[in-house]
Structure 1
Amino acid sequence: MDPEHRALLRTHRLYLSGQLLVTDTIVPFLFQEHVLTEAHVEDIEAQPSDTLRCRRLLDLLPVRGPRAFGCFLRSLEDFGWVRDKLLLDLQTRPGPGPGPSAADVQLPDPVLQEVPSDRVLSRLASRLGSEWESVLMDLGLSTEDLFRCRSDHPLSTHGAVLAGLVQWRRSGGKTSTVQRLMRSLEENGVHPSVLQDVLL
């Protein structure tokens, strides 16, 4: 997703979560368009309220590829006033130019060598979609570790992902750096700007 579109969704996060009922038409449309996977749909529908379901969708969209924003706008057929507001804001805000490619995302070397904090890992856990298991396996967790994370947090994907990331950091010690994390994200199809966002 373009940084401009990601920023727009972040700016309007509270507004969107107060206006949209995502499970009736929006989530099914995004699933039909292959923006969301079945695991994403289950994750969203497991949230206990309409507001939290919308927020979970907004967490997932920025990492679902370049088509995600356009498909999201098309899914707002029943919420025309919301779509109009987003489009108007998009037209009036200054454009940042073309979005960064993976090669453009550069973090300072001291940041790359840091061991990520609990806050960074928690924010990252909320941004990962169905890729989380392959990311954690790439970081060295076993299938038994993943099973334990899932069984310890059966109602919270965020909790399961965070538990896995904390386990990776604990087992790796000083070698569990931001640079290592970024490499695993890239190898599993997650744009490095996701990690850049959570570090800000």
Structure 2
Amino acid sequence: MDQKHKVLLTKLRLELCAEALADGLVPQYLFQELIITSDQLEQICTQTTSQRRTMKLLDILQTRGPNAFKVFLESLSEFPWVRERIEGLCKENLDQFTTRSLELPEMLRHSCPTDKQLNILAGKLGSEWEHILIHLGLDHNQLYRCKSQYPYSVHSQAFEGFIKWKQQMGSKATMQSLWEALNQTGADPSVMQYIMQ
């Protein structure tokens, strides 16, 4: 999936969760069109609430191939107002989501992010949190422990990973290294805005 589409779905995450997309035919259509696997369909369907099912669907969708976004839009036949909203945002200037010329202020570069700031950042990320933390120096075993500890919450998994990174790196766990990891892993660096406020 294109980065701009990932950013758009992340931006609309709460709005999409409120629509209970995963309770309709959307996951079945994505499975039929080979966008998601049977295991992924099961992961979606076994979530305990409508919102969690939709969150799991969105997390999985962002990890799928280049056709995932197009097929996702096709799958929204039961939700024409959602499809129109997404297509409308695509037709508007999508560059506003992807070409922000953000710079990290000098005074923040060597500061260590607080737990509160990391919690906010974790809440803005989807499944890309794993790539970011690998870039920051965590290994796959540490990521596995984060996922095992919080199997139903991507937010909690990401937050736990950031805490482990901060504990492991100490004073080297800086805003600058976080900024670089976001840029180099293809995550939208504008999420840093939320923790710079």
- TM class by shorter chain equals 0.5 to 0.7
Map 1:57-136 onto structure 2 (within 5 A): 72-84=72-84, 86=85, 90=89, 98-99=95-96, 101=98, 104-136=101-133
Amino acid in the other structure paired with 2:17: S
Asked if the contact 1:44/1:56 (under 8 Å) is kept, the reply is yes
Q: Report SS of the residue matched to 1:75.
A: helix
Could you list the runs of 5+ residues in structure 1 that have no partner in the other structure? none
Structure 1 counterpart of 2:188, from 177, 191, 198:
191
Q: Report SS of the residue matched to 2:78.
A: coil
Moved more, 164-173 or 134-143: 134-143
Residue 117 of structure 1, CA deviation: 2.4
* Structure 2 equivalent of residue 145 of structure 1: 142
- Looking at structure 1, the residues matched to 134 and 65 of structure 2 have their Cα atoms a distance apart, in angstroms, of 22
Residue 40 of structure 1, CA deviation: 7.2
Amino acid in the other structure paired with 2:12: L
Asked if the contact 1:60/1:128 (under 8 Å) is kept, the reply is no
Asked if the contact 2:127/2:154 (under 8 Å) is kept, the reply is no
Aligned residue pairs: how many?
Answer: 193
Asked if the contact 1:26/1:76 (under 8 Å) is kept, the reply is yes
Residue 169 of structure 1, CA deviation: 1.0
Amino acid in the other structure paired with 1:49: T
Residue 150 of structure 1, CA deviation: 2.9
Q: Report SS of the residue matched to 1:77.
A: helix
Asked if the contact 2:138/2:165 (under 8 Å) is kept, the reply is yes
Residue 175 of structure 1, CA deviation: 1.9
- What is the CA RMSD across the aligned residues, in angstroms? 4.2
TM-score, normalisation: structure 2: 0.67
* Structure 2 equivalent of residue 21 of structure 1: 21
Residue 6 of structure 2 corresponds to residue 9 of structure 1: no
- Looking at structure 1, the residues matched to 79 and 171 of structure 2 have their Cα atoms a distance apart, in angstroms, of 48
Residue 160 of structure 2 corresponds to residue 157 of structure 1: no
Moved more, 25-34 or 151-160: 25-34
Residue 6 of structure 1, CA deviation: 6.1
- Looking at structure 1, the residues matched to 112 and 174 of structure 2 have their Cα atoms a distance apart, in angstroms, of 4
TM-score, normalisation: structure 1: 0.66
* Structure 1 equivalent of residue 176 of structure 2: 179
- Looking at structure 2, the residues matched to 157 and 142 of structure 1 have their Cα atoms a distance apart, in angstroms, of 18
- Looking at structure 2, the residues matched to 65 and 195 of structure 1 have their Cα atoms a distance apart, in angstroms, of 26
- Looking at structure 2, the residues matched to 195 and 28 of structure 1 have their Cα atoms a distance apart, in angstroms, of 35
Residue 165 of structure 1, CA deviation: 0.7
- Distance verdict in 2 for CA 1:20–1:45, change over 3 Å: same
Asked if the contact 1:168/1:176 (under 8 Å) is kept, the reply is yes
- Looking at structure 2, the residues matched to 187 and 107 of structure 1 have their Cα atoms a distance apart, in angstroms, of 15
Asked if the contact 1:5/1:69 (under 8 Å) is kept, the reply is no
Moved more, 104-113 or 158-167: 104-113
Asked if the contact 1:60/1:127 (under 8 Å) is kept, the reply is no
